[in-house]
Structure 1
Amino acid sequence: MKSHSSTLLAEVRTFRQNHPDVRYVDLIALDIPGRFYGKRYPVEMLEKVAAGSPLKLPQNAVLLGAQGGLFKIGDYCFHDGDPDANRRLVPGTLKPVSWEAQPLGQMLITSDGTEAPIEFEPREVLAKVLERLHRKGIHPVVAFELEFYLFDKKLNDGLPQFARDPLSDDPDDQPTLHIERLSRFAPVLDDMVQTAQAQGIDITVVTAELGPGQFEINFGHLDDGLRAADWAALFCRSTRGVALKHGYRASFMAKPYLQHPGSGMHVHVSLYDAAGNNLLAAHQQQPLRHAVAGCLALLPHCMPIFSPNHNAFRRLGGTVNAATKACWGYEDRDACVRIPESDPRNLRIEHRLASADANPYLVLAAILVGLEHGLDTAQEPIAPLNEDRTSGHDFPLEMLEAVRAMQQQPVLREGLGAEFVDVYCENKRQDHLAFQQEINAREYRWYL
């Protein structure tokens, strides 16, 4: 513990030396809907925390709804006295914030690794899954890919406007999938990449996607699943800030336009033993097939994680590469679980179903539980799409049905934690019901 504190203290002191103009540091963590909450600390107080002083925030901050409010979930929020819970600083995450008007720093905090972790904190849920896999001799290597849209900074009657292309105001004139679009938006994209790299995030590939103003960012592969999810979360935060600085609005909303493709979160996962052997490639890739079967078996029960809001369900099935069934295939982007072509050393699955605004800690945790379930049960998967284009299991396409499917699934309750599953499902149910409590203009046009 002393060594851990001394490492953190050295990190804070080095930061202060390198950034003497920074007076405050945002201590941040991801809540259940995937939004950051936290506190802004004077940097001298952060040094005390790094030296071992307690860091406490309300436990129920993790339970915030999409709009920041609290719902009654069991005895939480309104019958528990709103207790504080200990957090700790995540080493290596203290970085400067360059997109705000004043010099700031930011640092991740978490309850995992404390004496009493919060069972339903997303990072803690993933930490427990990774710890269990490590005890079994399974070591995941993970890489995220995130799609997002750029919009004009100003909304038009609450609706998004296409990002202003420097050469044309016509969204149809934006070259789809062309390298030219990267050049047209180079100033903001370059700033996004450089800012992410300053946060310690390994950005590898930038792609212009199908939608007008839509892009995809790929991250490097990591043998630390927690850090991989940290990267995805931190990238979303910095990208929104950089976009505003350039006069744009960046959004990871799953389906901002009905007529254009939605934005997804693709997760590449390979599994290795302690000696560095790819477990999925052993025995003529039989473990790969078992892992796929486990993923597909649990996928219909994980939909509240993969599609965490009403809008995310709009993304499924209507446009390019968004599946409507739990299916798999080799080199097939219509599949939820795609097996990219690779050598045995790099054999992996690419899980393509989650929306870009899903919680990266929970998405990865759900995928890993599926892989674990498949390896434990050693079942054969259904036919791949390469052999049968109709192959696949149905999954829920509406939130309340999805919550019912998730809450009673015994493998998920054991793999992710029963307390987390109950809390998460009730949070999604209440968020969805709150979203429905407004009559929109179309409803009056149809039924008044």
Structure 2
Amino acid sequence: MKSHCATLLAEVRTFRQNHPEVRYVDLIALDIPGRFYGKRYPVEMLEKVAAGSPLKLPQNAVLLGAQGGLFKIGDYCFHDGDPDANRRLVPGTLKPVSWEAQPLGQMLITSDGTEAPIEFEPREVLAKVLERLHGKGIHPVVAFELEFYLFDRKLADGLPQFARDPLSDDPDDQPTLHIERLSRFAPVLDDMVQTAQAQGIDITVITAELGPGQFEINFGHLDDGLRAADWAALFCRSTRGVALKHGYRASFMAKPYLQHPGSGMHVHVSLYDAAGNNLLAAHQQQPLRHAVAGSLELLPHCMPIFSPNHNAFRRLGGTVNAATQASWGYEDRDACVRIPESDPRNLRIEHRLASADANPYLVLAAILVGLEHGLEAAREPIAPLNEDRASGQAFPLEMLEAVRAMQQQPALREGLGAEFVDVYCENKRQDHLAFQQEINAREYRWYL
């Protein structure tokens, strides 16, 4: 404990020495819908926390809905006195914030690793899954890929407007999958990359995607699943901030345009033993097939995680490379679970179903539980799409059906924790019902 405090204290003091202009630091964590909550601390108080002073925030802050409100969930929120819960600082995450008007810092906080972790905190859920896998001699290596859209900063009658191309106002004039679009938006994209790198995130490939103003950013592979999910979460925050600074609005919304592709969160996962051998490549790739089978079996029950809101379900099946069934295939982007071509050392799965606005901690936790379930059940998967284009298993395409499927799945309740599954499902159910409590103009046109 003393050595841990000494390391944190050294990190805070080094930060203060390198950034004397910073007076406040945002201490932040991701809630269930994937939004950051936290407190802004004077930097001198942060030293006290690093030295061992308690850091407490309301436990129920994790349970916020998409719009920030609290729902009645079991005994939480309105029947528990709204208690505080201990958090800890995440080492290595204290970084400067360059996109705000005033100099700031930010640092991740979490309940995992405390005396009483919050069972439904997303980072804690992933931490428990990783700890269990490590105990079984399974060590994941993970890389995220995130798609997002750039819009004009101002909305028009509440609707997003495509990002203004410096050379053209016509959205159809933005070259799809073309290196030229990267050049046209280079100032904002370069700033996004540099800002992410200043947060300690390893950015690799940048791609101009199919939609007007749509891009994809890839991150480096990490043998620390928690840090990989940290990168995805922090990248979303910094990218939104940088876009505003440049006069744009960056959004990870799953399906902002019906006529254009949605935005996904693709996750690459390989599994190694303690000696560094790729477990998926052993025995002529038989474990790979078992892992795929487990992933596909649990996938329909994980839809509230992979498609966490009403809009995310719009993304499924409507356009290019968006799956309509739980499927797999070699080098096939129509599959939910794609096996990229690679040598045995780097053999991995690419899970392509999650929307870009999903919670990265929970997405990775659900993927890993599926792989773990498959390795232990040792079943053969359905035919890959390469052999049968119709191969696949149905999954829910509506939130309330998806919640029922998730809440009743025994392997998922065991793998993610029954308390988490119940709390998460009720949060999603309440959020969906709250979203429905508005009559829009189309409803009057159709039914008045």
User: Normalized against structure 2, the TM-score is what?
Assistant: 1.00
Deviation at 1:316, TM superposition (A): 0.1
Per-residue CA distance 1:204-225 (angstroms, 9 max, x = gap): 0000000000000000000000
What secondary structure sits across from 2:68 in the alignment? Answer: coil
In 2: Cα distance, 1:354 partner to 1:292 partner:
16
| Displacement of 1:173 | 0.3
Q: How far did residue 394 of structure 1 move? A: 0.1
Shift of 1:292: 0.1
Q: CA deviation at 1:193?
A: 0.1
| CA distance in structure 1 between the partners assigned to 2:447 and 2:378 by the alignment | 53
Whole-angstrom CA distance in 2 between matches of 1:401 and 1:158: 29
Over aligned residue pairs, what C-alpha RMSD do you find?
A: 0.2
**Residue 398 of structure 1: how far off its partner (Å):** 0.1
Partner deviation per Cα, 1:33-61 (whole Å, 9 max, x = no partner):
00000000000000000000000000000
3-state secondary structure, aligned to 1:329: strand
Distance 1:294 1:2 in 2: 42
| Post-superposition CA distance 1:273-293 (Å, at most 9, x none) | 000000000000000000000
> How far 1:160 sits from its partner (Å)?
0.1
3-state SS of paired residue (1:290):
helix
Paired residues for 1:200-211 under 5 Å: 200-211=200-211
Find the residue that maps to 1:302 and give its secondary structure.
helix
Separation (CA, whole Å) in 2 of partners of 1:136 and 1:162 = 48
Superposed CA deviations along residues 402-435 of structure 1, whole A, max 9, x for unmatched, are 0000001000000000000000000000000000
Q: 1:125 deviation in Å?
A: 0.1
What's the CA shift string for 1:159-197, capped at 9, x where partnerless? 000000000000000000000000000000000000000
Q: Give the Å deviation of 1:121.
A: 0.1
Give the Å deviation of 1:124: 0.1
Is the partner of 1:144 in helix, strand or coil?
strand
Q: Counterparts of 1:308-327 in structure 2 under 5 Å?
A: 308-327=308-327
**Other-structure match for 1:266:** 266
3-state DSSP of counterpart to 2:362: helix
Q: In structure 1, how many angstroms separate the alpha carbons of the residues matched to 2:18 and 2:379?
A: 54
Q: Distance in 1 between matches of 2:72 and 2:48?
A: 35
CA separation in 2, counterparts of 1:409 and 1:332? 28
Distance in 2 separating the partners of 1:328 and 1:92: 37
1:318-357 superposed matches below 5 A: 318-357=318-357
- Equivalents in 1 of 2:303, 2:133: separation in Å? 23
Structure 1 residue 297 displacement after superposition: 0.1
Distance (whole Å) between structure 2 residues aligned to residue 329 and residue 415 of structure 1: 25
**Partners of 2:188 and 2:398 in 1: how far apart?**
36
SS of match in other structure, 1:270 = strand
Deviation of 1:99 after TM superposition, in Å, equals 0.0
1:41 equivalent to 2:31? Answer no
Deviations 1:123-172 (A, max 9, x none): 00000000000000000000000000000000000000000000000000
Give the distance between the partners of 1:214 and 1:32, measured in 2 at CA.
Answer: 26
Q: Partner residue of 2:163? A: 163
Aligned: 1:54 with 2:75: no
How many residues in Structure 1 have an aligned counterpart in Structure 2?
Answer: 448
Could you list the per-position Cα deviations for residues 220-266 of structure 1 after superposition, in whole angstroms to 9, with x for gaps in the alignment?
Answer: 00000000000000000000000000000000000000000000000
Deviations, residues 89-132 of structure 1 (Å, cap 9, x unaligned): 00000000000000000000000000000000000000000000
CA offsets 1:276-333 (integer angstroms, 9 cap, x no match): 0000000000000000000000000000000000000000000000001000000000
Once residues 320 and 85 of structure 2 are traced to their aligned partners in structure 1, the CA distance between those partners, rounded to angstroms, is 44
Give the equivalent residue in structure 2 for 1:366.
Answer: 366
The runs of at least 4 aligned residues of structure 1 exceeding 2 Å deviation read none
What corresponds to 1:195 in structure 2? Answer: 195
Cα distance in 2 for partners of 1:238, 1:440 equals 33
- State the secondary structure of the residue aligned to 2:329: strand
Query: The residue matched to 2:361 in structure 1 has which SS?
Result: helix
State, as a whole percentage, how many aligned pairs show the same letter. Answer: 96
For 1:92 and 1:7, how far apart are their aligned partners in 2?
Answer: 9
TM-score by length of 1: 1.00
- SS for the counterpart of 1:322 is coil
Q: What CA distance in whole angstroms lies between the structure 1 residues aligned with 2:324 and 2:301?
A: 14
Shift of 1:342: 0.0
Deviation at 1:198, TM superposition (A): 0.1
Q: SS of the residue aligned with 1:17?
A: helix
CA distance in 2: counterparts of 1:38 and 1:350, whole angstroms: 32
Any gaps of 5 or more consecutive residues in structure 2?
A: none
Q: Distance in 2 between matches of 1:342 and 1:141?
A: 15
In structure 1, distance between residues paired with 2:170 and 2:322: 26
CA deviation map 1:309-360 (0-9, x unaligned):
0000000000000001000000000000000000000000000000000000
Counterpart of 2:319 in 1: which secondary structure?
A: coil
Partner of 1:110: 110
Counterparts of 1:244 and 1:413 in 2: how far apart (Å)? 40
| Mapped pair 1:418 → 2:407 | no
Q: Find the aligned partners of 2:441 and 2:15 in 1 and give their Cα distance.
A: 51
